[in-house]
Structure 1
Amino acid sequence: MSNVFVTYNPNATSPVPVGQLGSGTPPNPVAILTLSSTEQSLIVANDPTSILVDTTTSPPSIISNPNFWTQRGPYYIAQQMTLAVAGFNKAITSPYTFTNAAGVTSNYPVNSTLAKEEYSNAFLKYVQNGQTLPSGFTFNDINGVPQAFTVTDIENFYNGYTNFFQQCKVSLNSLLASIKTSTSYSQCISYTWTTPS
């Protein structure tokens, strides 16, 4: 950033909270302080509450807010948790890749209740209850192309996706627990969603 400035109340007890953080041509409030590049580097997440103005120096200078994480941590933790949940939701609703006994690899929809019911019902009927699989049994892939499935395919597909879903849940719970214990902004944003392989 170039020409970064802050506004503040020069009559407040030092250190003074930053009223505004901006760039370009400063407005004309009571007190404006243009930041050096070193002072700019103290700003966390472009958040004005991460810095304070020390009016005991001449000219006034910028210092880090030692209470920044106490004041703003809950906000950033909530924000990072939201991103983690979004990553989890994307992972569990993205098409599931499976290779059937015929050696055809396709992606299958798992983001609708109808598709999940079809997979569950097939597993219950033909795997768990051992009913005879009708000739020509298929599941449609995401392109609507029917792909042949054997009883073993149904079992492997169902178990594979169920295991993947459980891995994602475990990963999410672990990630959320780590985010909650963050003690700094940099630590907090270092916890990001990674889809289990």
Structure 2
Amino acid sequence: MKPSFTPFSKEALELGRSTYFVRTNGGISLPIAGFLYWLALGILGFYIKPETWCLTAFFTSGLIFPIGLALSRPFHSNIMLKAPLSGLVMPAMTAMFLSWPMTIAGYLTDMQLVPLFLAIGMSLHWPVIGWMYGSITCTFHAILRVALVTVLWFLEPTERFTFIPLLVSLLYLITVFGLKKEVAQRKRELGNALG
């Protein structure tokens, strides 16, 4: 028996992306969790030593997903929705996981690199998620984040453990509003296309 292949059109792909994006409400519970994580790190940066900050950042980074999952219901963000495109999430996350050796090497050689490496490394999944959703906001989040944290790392060497996480937190907040706007626009477009 020959395996069957069903070709799909660009229009079908775009419809699938838009439908998934709307049904997950742009996955906004995860950027909200990211906002909370980075805000906490920024505040902690004022009070704890860099070594403690690094260890705290490492050991708590895994909390972002469970917090996002807990926030998914109140924010109507079904991040566990199964769809053909949801299979891209794990490869996207793998890119982020592959940055951890660099971050750990930074910790072991020059702790001042950790906020930069962590902020950039933990943004590597955003372009793939953006493609999956057909969201320009996700792509801009990654580009702005990498550019701005790099500039800030050079401009404010004494405040890297506070200003970088606070900047990332602000970018997450802006991203939440951008995603909400995109979801509303996509809902209108889907309503017009389907109705």
Of the two, which has the highest radius of gyration?
Answer: 1
Bigger proportion of residues as strand: 1
Q: What TM-score, normalized to structure 2?
A: 0.28
TM-score, normalized by length of structure 1?
0.28
The structure richer in helix per residue is: 2
Give the number of the structure with larger relative contact order, counting CA–CA contacts within 8 Å between residues 6 or more apart.
2
